[in-house]
Chain A
């Protein structure tokens, strides 16, 4: 039971996203129209992704499997898609030892058993993780079998290294996906850049949910939302389980320019 609570707490913590700071105040019809255009143009680029995680609690009692839901941004015709690495597997690639209460020491490791695209018609398209970048908190997934990919079924966003940039209080358009209870429908909102984070690398905080794609008002991709943690060893599950200050990290927008080189590596694989 304890392990169920443990994992449930973790998933719950991951599911909790920061509330939007403030809705876009009267920015005029132009902005709304622009957001609608971005939504209509790119809503298919933001996709629902599912995964099956296998969590190993060591001596505490074997393993358990758990479904996870994510949002990803499609970046090429083959279905190559950017997701947050920690949203998929917050435990990372190594075993972690946590002590949620004195004397209860758990050695936890997790691995991704399966990952798939949740298609609009409710079917699943099996995928695999092609490449991951722990520094950027980015994983790139792609359909396992390209024969299963119908031409035009993936609608990628345009990417380049000289992509959009933003300053504080700039308005941005966020595209996301609702969860299973919203039939994974596409969603859009308008927000402002609340912070520009310069170190260890450039990122933006706009109040977006992890996995969502963020555009400037001209419809150019600013980046995708991932988690960032200012710590030596990345994600610390104990922080979540014990209600520590860092929690799961901070959802930030990693600029498209930073992701492009990784995408190129993935495309070469």
Chain B
């Protein structure tokens, strides 16, 4: 049921080809001097000059449904300001699911923006720049002008503008290769939030290089007008959503916040025969209980007229245009439809209904271990459901309550009731879930869910509540000498010039084991323990010596026979105990930032950078703010916003302060391996 990942650009796309251009120096100077606006009397000197100032690089943090969890991911794309009020057009797949949006303007300003509305079917989203975050909130914003994409012809010169791979604003040049590019028929359907990508879009194909990150950027003509919004690429061709479609969608979003479309229940395909003089689109499918079915239209009919529009789908490239016409009539309008059946023309009428989003907003219920949503009409049709009542499970979290239910819940299940409470919508379910919310992290509640699965009604029992997570386990306490050794092989004895001496050579002494290893020195060869020879002969036999030590007890005295400077001697040592491991260290978790840390063990404090302590990251789950900021498991946090972190207690305080102050950015200095680096956490403090 979940939408497949949307591959923005095909892998065949290559990074920055030789046609790669950047804005002219003149433009850059002009930009540096101040934002150039459309009101300037000075005419632009190139098509690029007129659009470049309006070009926007977009950074987002978006919600991505995963396995039973909505994860936050970083993303980047391109956009163009198309209105003096700061409206930016981009792709839905760039920013449509964003909960935080930051834009880099062409003059290097970094500003915040909000999502005005989005349309997954056309893959268009509209943002609005937050003027208060501009350097000069009253300064006019540059904007680009729309051109007429219906005038575009093959071989026209075009420029693709945007931020490939999220690098700064760039431009490539090419020609229009095809004005009617559709999704290649490769046996599948590419979906974006449940919508069939390409069902209403016929792309302007061009050979100006675009890459990941160009999505949402403008395609402009030689007059400096926006004639398309780059979206997709395959087989070396780039594809832009025609400007006329993008503009119509954007304007409706700016005016209404969303796009309303009509639903008829008709699916069209190209005609199977090409007899001369024949026209119309072949009706491939008529949805049950749809306006089209009510109007008596059947699969196999040839749709020749829809309202005032003649329909003709001679080839596959005609279908998106016809489909867009069907969707484009006003919602609730009675439309006169003419179909051809068995050589006869039949005139009928249908009244369209509001077309809902293919994939309603998914919602995560963490203690239930699932993501679910309302049921759209399209989901009902695709899953052959008995109705749209209930809540559909989109995915379950491995190891979560839903997967552990008996029987386990699965994606595609429809929740009809919780215990005795009927559930008809997500709002109902949210209310029930809220009433079952447990007050403590360990509390569990048992519920019975009535589900529809493959047309059958089943009941599943699950325990909701927080998952018990395993902390790093404690290590067994063992006798410890506090040394690291290497085996003295035959080759090594010859190299060392110690003849036939066998045993292990001390290569490192641990400060933490100073009591136990007192008297030993690096370079000593230990040949026997309490008179018993160390029978290690291969280089990887180091555990033989450890195994001998482990046969004794903590605090026990041993006599080690050692060879130092060629002289054999006995040394008495008292065994210590292995230092406390991670499990016994103080632990800290910040649920908002999604980071778990612990104090450093004695051994972990052995590095020069950690002698003053630190906090080791035990977990920074993918999709959390810490993970988004680049924090990784086993990083050692050394400082936060310049304040030295000695232990998790200090870390707790520092993060609590940062969170309470809602700092725009929290800078962590971490030690990763042997190198330090700075990481910036940028949480959205008010997540919708």
Contact = CB atoms under 8 A, between A and B. Distances in A.
A262 B473 contact: no
A135 B473 contact: no
Given A124-B404, A199-B547, A144 B468 contact: yes
Nearest to B538: A230
B54 to A, nearest CB: 34
B470 A199 contact: no
Nearest to B537: A199
Contacts of B477: 265
Interface string A14-26: 0000000000000
Contacts of A201: 547, 550
Interface in B277-293: none
B629 to A, nearest CB: 14
10 contacts: A65-B399, A66-B398, A128-B470, A128-B473, A135-B543, A139-B473, A199-B547, A200-B541, A200-B547, A261-B476
B424 interface: no
Contacts of A62: 71, 622-623, 627
Contact of B67 (A65, A113, A135, A261): A65
B470 A111 contact: yes
B514 interface: no
B467 A94 contact: no
A56 B619 CA distance: 10
A139 B406 CA distance: 28
Closest 7 CB pairs of A and B: A200-B547, A52-B399, A62-B622, A129-B473, A65-B398, A200-B543, A133-B476
Interface string A67-86: 10000000000000000000
Nearest to B467: A114
A72 to B, nearest CB: 14
B475 interface: yes
A160 to B, nearest CB: 17
A126 B470 CA distance: 10
A62 B161 CA distance: 31
A230 B541 contact: yes
A38 interface: no
A93 interface: yes
A136 to B, nearest CB: 8
Given A65-B399, A132-B476, A122 B406 contact: yes
Contact of B470 (A123, A129, A133): A129
A129 B582 CA distance: 13
A130 interface: yes
Nearest to A262: B476
Interface string A102-124: 00000001011111000000111
Contacts of A132: 473-476
Contacts of B186: none
Q: What bracket does the count of chain A residues touching chain B fall in?
A: 35 or more
A123 B408 CA distance: 11
B542 interface: yes
A134 interface: yes
Interface of B: 67, 71, 397-399, 404, 406, 467-470, 472-478, 535-536, 538, 540-544, 546-547, 550, 582, 618-619, 621-623, 627, 632-634
B546 A111 contact: no
Contacts of B543: 135, 200, 230, 232
A29 interface: no
A231 to B, nearest CB: 5
Contacts of B404: 124
Given A124-B404, A232-B542, A95 B398 contact: no
A232 B71 CA distance: 39
Interface in A188-209: 199-201
A97 to B, nearest CB: 9
Contacts of B618: 111
A88 to B, nearest CB: 10
B544 A199 contact: yes
Contacts of B71: 62
Contact of B535 (A139, A199, A232): A199
B473 A230 contact: no
B540 A232 contact: yes
A132 B397 CA distance: 28
A131 interface: yes
A113 B470 contact: yes
B622 A95 contact: no
A265 B474 CA distance: 11
Given A62-B622, A65-B398, A111 B472 contact: yes
B398 A109 contact: no
A146 to B, nearest CB: 14
Contact of B399 (A67, A262, A265): A67
Contact of A95 (B406, B470, B633): B633
A56 B540 CA distance: 29
B473 A131 contact: yes
Given A93-B582, A230-B541, A112 B470 contact: yes
A240 B468 CA distance: 31
Given A95-B633, A126-B468, A232-B540, A133 B475 contact: yes
Interface string A45-65: 000000010001010001101
B75 to A, nearest CB: 14
Contacts of A133: 475-476, 478
A181 interface: no
Contacts of B473: 112, 128-132, 139
Contacts of A124: 404
Contacts of A130: 473-474
A269 B474 contact: yes
A114 B546 contact: no
B399 A231 contact: no
B2 to A, nearest CB: 16
A131 B540 CA distance: 26
- Determine which residue in B397, B536, B550, B623 has the highest number of CB atoms from chain A within 10 A of its CB, and name it: B550
A128 B476 contact: no
A111 B582 CA distance: 13
Contacts of A230: 538, 540-541, 543
B589 to A, nearest CB: 14
Contacts of B633: 56, 95, 109, 111
Given A56-B633, A65-B399, A114 B470 contact: yes
A212 B515 CA distance: 40
A69 B478 CA distance: 29
Given A124-B404, A126-B468, A201-B547, A113 B399 contact: yes
A261 B478 CA distance: 10
Nearest to A62: B622
A123 B406 contact: yes
B587 to A, nearest CB: 14
A62 B550 CA distance: 39
A199 B543 CA distance: 8
A135 B543 CA distance: 8
A63 B397 CA distance: 13
A9 B482 CA distance: 37
Nearest to A110: B633
Contacts of A109: 633-634
Contact of B468 (A56, A93, A114, A262): A114
B547 A231 contact: no
A225 B95 CA distance: 53
Nearest to A139: B473
A58 B538 CA distance: 35
A60 to B, nearest CB: 11
A200 B546 contact: yes
Contacts of A65: 67, 397-399
Contact of B634 (A94, A114, A115, A232): A94
Contacts of A113: 399, 467, 469-470
A95 B618 CA distance: 11
Given A63-B621, A114-B469, 6 more contacts: A109-B633, A113-B467, A132-B473, A135-B546, A139-B473, A200-B544
Nearest to A269: B474
A138 to B, nearest CB: 8
A139 B542 CA distance: 22
B533 to A, nearest CB: 12
